[in-house]
């Protein structure tokens, strides 16, 4: 069976029984477990000690209100203490969905300042950074990455303009596709245009999907559907896509 790596999953939001069932699936080689905050980071670190296929990333998800300065200082200190256990910084980035609903509660400037600190932290430890930066916020993140000459960046579940996509290509950034590539034309368009050598696969589980995945619990095995669809879009053999996506993810995350 072809091996797969879920390059972005919120594993701490699954039960231990569900994680054990994931482990039983022989096709799952590794999971990149992204974090929402300090508590989430601690949990993912614990899971990595229990399950050898779990590789934790530490960060603060931007689609939530910012912490107090002292709480961010505590998070950064904790990450520095445990940096040898993390595979990446993430999930970090800029708010989009919450900002659209309530722009006053989610002003961009302080989020940009925190994102810049996370970029510098990733650079300090030479670790990849996993970004939640989509649509009009993605170019702002690229500005920061370019300012600090640090392009070890994974724009997870990227959505955005042709212009931004070209900037991502030019900078050699990676993107990842979720199972929604099976039924979302906008995601299919992005995947068609982006170099296969810079694409990874993810679920963003337990985020639920529609189409053929309606009412199904999101699990890493859904990546098989993503890869099959990618092969059709790229018009290359499915085996070639399996091999390339696996190689991309291993290389990017130094697995």
pLDDT digits (tens, 9 = 90+) for 9-54: 999 999 989 999 998 889 999 999 999 999 999 999 999 999 999 9
Nearest to 119 by CA among 176, 59, 65, 69: 59
Tell me how far CA of residue 245 lies from CA of 6, 100, 145, 153, 154, in angstroms: 10, 33, 24, 16, 14
Q: Which helix (H) or strand (E) holds 92?
A: strand 88-93
The dihedral through the CA atoms of 99, 101, 103, 104 has a sign that is: negative
Helix axes 223-234, 238-252, angle to 10 degrees: 120
Q: What is the pLDDT of residue 166?
A: 97
Sequence-separated (6 or more) residues with CB below 8 Å from residue 237: 231
Question: In 3-state terms, what secondary structure has residue 93?
Answer: strand
CATH of the domain at 186: 3.20.20.140
Nearest to 67 by CA among 34, 101, 92, 96: 92
Q: Is residue 212 exposed (0-12), middle (13-18) or buried (19+ Cβ within 10 Å)? A: exposed
Neighbours of 122 (CB within 10 A): 26
Helix axes 108-125, 138-147, angle to 10 degrees: 40
Domain extent for 118: 4-218+225-252
Tell me how far CA of residue 171 lies from CA of 24, 73, 168, 184, 238, in angstroms: 38, 30, 5, 26, 27
Listed as ranges, residues in the chain with pLDDT below 70 are none
Nearest to 105 by CA among 60, 65, 63: 65
Tell me how far CA of residue 47 lies from CA of 20, 44, 223, in angstroms: 11, 5, 21
Report whether 67 contacts 75 (CB < 8 A): yes
Count of structural domains within the chain? 1
Tell me how far CA of residue 109 lies from CA of 62, 115, 140, in angstroms: 12, 10, 11
- State the distance between the two ends of the chain, measured CA to CA, in whole angstroms: 19
Q: What is the pLDDT of residue 1?
A: 85
Name the token pair of 189: 């368009």
């Amino acid at each position: 069976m072809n091996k797969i790596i879920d390059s972005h999953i919120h594993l701490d939001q699954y039960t231990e029984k569900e994680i054990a069932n994931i482990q039983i699936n022989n096709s799952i080689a590794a999971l990149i477990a992204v974090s929402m905050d300090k508590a989430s980071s601690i949990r993912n670190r614990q899971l990595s000690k229990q399950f050898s296929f779990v590789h934790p990333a530490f960060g603060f998800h931007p689609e939530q209100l910012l912490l107090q300065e002292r709480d961010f200082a505590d998070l950064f200190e904790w990450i520095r203490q445990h940096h040898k256990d993390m595979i990446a910084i993430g999930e970090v980035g800029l708010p989009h969905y919450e900002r659209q609903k309530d722009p006053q509660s989610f002003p961009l400037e302080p989020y940009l300042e925190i994102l810049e600190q996370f970029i510098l932290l990733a650079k300090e430890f030479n670790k990849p950074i996993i970004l939640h930066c989509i649509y009009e916020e993605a170019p702002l993140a690229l500005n920061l990455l370019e300012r600090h000459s640090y392009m070890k960046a994974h724009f997870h579940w990227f959505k955005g303009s042709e212009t931004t996509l070209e900037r991502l290509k030019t900078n050699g950034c990676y993107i990842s596709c979720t199972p929604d590539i099976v039924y979302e034309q906008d995601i299919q368009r992005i995947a068609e245009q982006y170099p296969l050598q810079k694409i990874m696969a993810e679920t963003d589980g337990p985020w639920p999907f529609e189409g053929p995945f309606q009412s199904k619990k999101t699990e890493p095995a859904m990546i098989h559907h993503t890869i099959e669809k990618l092969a059709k879009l790229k018009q290359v053999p499915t085996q070639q896509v399996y091999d390339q996506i696996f190689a991309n993810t291993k290389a990017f995350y130094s697995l």
